[in-house]
Amino acid sequence: MERVNPATEAVLDPIDEHTDTAIEAAIDRSVDTYETWRDRSLSQRRRLLAAAGDELRENTMEYAEIATREMGKPITEAIAEIEKCAWVCDHYAEQADSYLADEVIRSEPHAKTFVSHEPIGPVLAVMPWNYPFWQVFRFAAPALTAGNTGLLKHASNVPGCAKAIERVFERAGYPRGVFQSLIVGSDAIEGIIEDDRIRGVTLTGSERAGRAVGGAAGRELLPSVLELGGSDPFIVLDDADVETAARVGTRARTLNSGQSCIAAKRFIVHEAVYDAFVDAFITEIESLSIGDPTDESTDIGPQARKDLMDDVHEQIQQTLRAGGTLETGGEPLDREGYFYPPTVVTDVPHDSPMGREEVFGPAAAVFSVPDEDTAVEVANDSTYGLGGSIWTEDLDRGEQLARRIESGCVFVNELTKSDPRLPFGGVKQSGYGRELSEHGIKSFVNEKTVWVQSADAQE
């Protein structure tokens, strides 16, 4: 599998793909290991997960540097990503027993009735390159601790991350077949899903990938979770703290060099504060440093691949031709690597690419609206529904508006983010199902109803 450092365009050592024979052996191993892994006590599985968290903390830089080298993530963000993976391990190590405890339900006087939460078997995870460790761990930490085994098909440009994640679990003491990385191309996914030994599928990726994987899982009647794209609204109301909204909005749009499903992408600003916000936002955007992702002072690294940078640029150019106004940025940097500057476009037509599509790069579309009802209307005028952010000094107002936004999560006076303690997922074309929290660990369990009739009731 070929790899290129997106910051330097240097060719990295390739990593061998798995053959059909190796894939078959890995699935066999996953099935065989599941038979013993499921019978391990929950306390044992929790201890191993805690050990995985310790491994991540003890070797944070080793893992962070792999992500930076393969997909260009600024090193400070890569370090934070590894630390977050350790956090999700800690969370489920601490909370899995309460999340998976039997749910007692009252029924007949002489019967004991409850729901038990039991694993289902090998689960295939199809994961993206943009958060190459976090996206995997937010699946693996709960799914493995619930007693399932996992098979990872990672993105083709981060095979080194895939191998490193497998190494984390090995170093933590997990049996070999509990978690395995399959170094294969996308053309192998459907065949793996169709294998009757696979019992569940989860994907984080594009809408196109979600349709393909979700369709294949549906044909096999497999439980699935899809976390797809987003075009999250960032609503700034007339009573907002404009300076704070601009500062946090800049971070919300440019995290991971703009390559995030839950990044703020459409900035919907009340006309009363529109000019002040745009001025403050542009100032913040232009203050960011763009450059070497291994330098801790860098804010914006390269786009992960040249074709991805080209796609973002074309979306921006089409929007400008449709009537948008370029405020800053808008051209790839003339330098080695796939660097695109943070870009702000105002007067964005609603039917232009930046108004209708997901822009997976550091480019913000800004809209002016006359009132909060219009803000909600514009926010919901999207095929996506992953996250959203609302800025207002009136918290009651913010909460009520949050209830009207069609998305899987809404944050008031905060950027949209994932948190191990909270369920995460989308609606509409942003997918279905939930990850993280108690909801996430139950995505791949059999919620089995058990009725135990008292002998006295038979007399």
**pLDDT per residue as tens digits for the range 361-376:** 999 999 999 999 999 9
Predicted confidence at residue 302, as pLDDT, reads: 98
Q: What domain count does the chain have?
A: 2
Which listed residue (81, 227, 284, 435) is catalytic? 227
Residue 457 has pLDDT above 80, yes or no: no
CA 74 to each of CA 56, 417, 436: distance values in angstroms, whole numbers, following the listed order? 18, 18, 25
pLDDT tens column, 210-247: 999 999 999 999 999 999 999 999 999 999 999 999 99
User: Residues 280, 371: one domain?
Assistant: yes
User: Residues 346, 252: one domain?
Assistant: yes
User: Residues 125, 83: one domain?
Assistant: yes
Task: Name the strands in the sheet holding 200-204, side by side, starting at the edge strand that comes first in the sequence.
Answer: 179-182, 149-153, 122-126, 200-204, 224-227, 431-432
Residue 64 has pLDDT above 60, yes or no: yes
For residue 399, is it within any domain? Answer: yes
User: Residues 182, 236: one domain?
Assistant: no
Predicted confidence at residue 453, as pLDDT, reads: 94
Contact 261, 229 (CB under 8 A): yes
Please, what is the average pLDDT of the chain?
97
pLDDT confidence bin for 458, thresholds 50/70/90: low
Share of the chain above pLDDT 70, in %: 99
Residue 135: CATH number of its domain? 3.40.605.10
Q: Which residue has the tokens 């990672």?
A: 154
CB-based contacts of 136: which residues, under 8 Å, 6+ apart?
Answer: 125, 127, 152, 154, 165
85 is catalytic: no
For residue 37, is it within any domain? Answer: yes
Q: Which of 137, 145, 116 is nearest to 47 (CA)?
A: 145
Share of the chain above pLDDT 90, in %: 98
| Host domain of residue 21 | 3-228+430-450
Q: Global pTM?
A: 0.97
Average pLDDT on 109-115 reads 95
pLDDT tens column, 309-338: 999 999 999 999 999 999 999 999 999 999
Average pLDDT on 98-112 reads 95
Average pLDDT on 259-266 reads 98
Residue 248: CATH number of its domain? 3.40.309.10
Q: Which residues pair with residue 459 across a beta bridge?
A: none
170 is catalytic: no
pLDDT confidence bin for 456, thresholds 50/70/90: confident
Residue 459 has pLDDT above 60, yes or no: no
Which amino acid does the sequence have at 215?
G
pLDDT confidence bin for 455, thresholds 50/70/90: confident
User: Residues 205, 342: one domain?
Assistant: no
CA 148 to each of CA 124, 155, 441: distance values in angstroms, whole numbers, following the listed order? 10, 22, 11
User: Residues 245, 149: one domain?
Assistant: no
Give the whole-angstrom CA distance, residue 366 versus residue 328.
Answer: 12
Task: Name the strands in the sheet holding 445-453, side by side, starting at the edge strand that comes first in the sequence.
Answer: 103-104, 111-119, 445-453
Which listed residue (85, 89, 261, 409) is catalytic? 261
The first and second tokens of residue 172, run together, are 């933590």
